[in-house]
Amino acid sequence: MDTEIKQENDINEKKRKIDSLESLGPYIVEQDNAKNFIYVSDIPQLCKDEPCMLGVDEAGRGPVLGPMVYGIAFCPLSKQKVLKTLGFADSKQLTEAKRDSIFDDMNRQDDAVESLGWAVEAISPNVISMNMLKRSKHSLNEVSMDSAIGLIHRAIEAGVNIAEVYVDTVGPPEKYQAKLKTIFPKFKITVAKKADSTYPIVSAASIAAKVTRDHALKVWKFRERSNEGENDFGSGYPGDPTTKDFLSEVDLVFGFPRLVRFSWSTASNALEKKAYDMQFEDESDAQAAQKATYGSEKLSKYFSASKNENRKRNEYFRDRCLEHVVDL
């Protein structure tokens, strides 16, 4: 019996492994797209034994639709040639087909599998919206930094021997670099603009992030409507005509599906124009009202002054002929 359970677990573990472009989509489909998910590749032994460089970049920061994905990639300092051989460059400058091809190579080619590892965190549009709209707001920059720092910690916990970290900046690079240096004082840290074009290891992280986001959109499963046919919402950028058409379809009560980042002005402006103006009772007000109306009258009522001077005294006092005494 135990052997059968172990075999079943092994099969499930294999299903959850991303070892090619082909296995990426099925893995993403298994995740709850209303929540974040993190995937960490197998860690090559070389990355544990030798000092490594680690790159950090994101994809999908600007779109009004879909997740923002943060990615890291790491390899030994002695194996930088592998990065050049694979053809890493800024993912935004590559065609989708080229990005997919490089992603497949980094998970299939022997020299890549032996010396290169990666990880991604897909940050749900639902989570982005909740962070940016809640009372104690958490900005997109803060969400981004939290994700980058979290992925670096994941690599450390997995045993990666990190020596150098290269990050494509979020906000002023000097401030971001100082923050990372405080958290990771033992690493050589470089935060720079356009780092994905300058450092191949950041380009590798960029491709992992961008390909993951692209395929997350391709296999997106709606909870709010039918999933028949291909997704027809475009790239997710506000200027995309297909995305504009998608955002023109507003549910008058519920607005948009969870694919949309409600915190984006593009989405909120569309809702203000078309959706009903909804007012929801504040939870604390509702609880207060419930307490006031539940059961018997409030005790405090009997200690408050009454505007009705002729009200009857309690029968306890009347039956015993008891009167108020002011002077003795």
Residue positions in the annotated binding site?
A: 57-58, 168
Q: What is the largest CA-CA distance in the chain?
A: 105
Return d(Cα 65, Cα 260) in angstroms, integer: 5
Binding residue numbers for a divalent metal cation: 57-58, 168
Chain center to CA of 49 = 32
Render 14-62 in DSSP notation, one character per residue.
Answer: HHT---SHHHHHHHHHTS-TTS-EEEE----HHHHHS-EEEEEEEE-SS
Which pair of tokens denotes residue 116? 């290169």
Return d(Cα 33, Cα 216) in angstroms, integer: 9
CB atoms within 10 A of CB 92: 12
Return d(Cα 325, Cα 328) in angstroms, integer: 7
Question: Which phi and psi (to 5°) does residue 225 adopt?
Answer: -155, 180
Return d(Cα 318, Cα 324) in angstroms, integer: 11
Collect all residues with Cβ–Cβ distance below 8 Å to 49 and sequence separation of at least 6.
Answer: 76, 161
Render 242-272 in DSSP notation, one character per residue.
Answer: HHHHHHT--BTTTBS-TTB-TTSHHHHHHHH
